[in-house]
């Protein structure tokens, strides 16, 4: 499906050589690179928590006007 990877994100960069080549080929920037070699999705699960935390920070951040600086 053309354009399907435009919204894809690599959750984790595994230490496995084939995985490094795959995300480079797909031109994806991983959220995490912890050197793990686990294949059951641990890196992806951790990346979801990072993305959720970033969304909470962004949505909870006051603007300058809301904070009284403008």
Q: CA 51 from chain center: how many Å?
A: 6
In order of 58, 60, 70, the CA distances from 66 in angstroms are: 14, 11, 8
CA–CA gap between residue 34 and residue 43 (Å, rounded) = 8
Query: Which of 6, 27, 40, 66 is an active site residue?
Result: 40
Catalytic site includes residue 40? yes
Residues recognised as catalytic: 40
């Amino acid at each position: 499906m053309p354009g399907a990877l435009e919204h894809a994100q690599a959750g984790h960069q595994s230490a496995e050589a084939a995985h490094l080549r795959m995300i480079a080929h797909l031109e994806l920037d991983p959220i995490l690179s912890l050197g793990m070699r686990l294949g059951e999705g641990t890196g992806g699960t951790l990346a979801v928590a990072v993305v959720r935390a970033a969304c909470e920070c962004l949505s909870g951040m006051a603007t300058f006007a809301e904070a009284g600086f403008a």
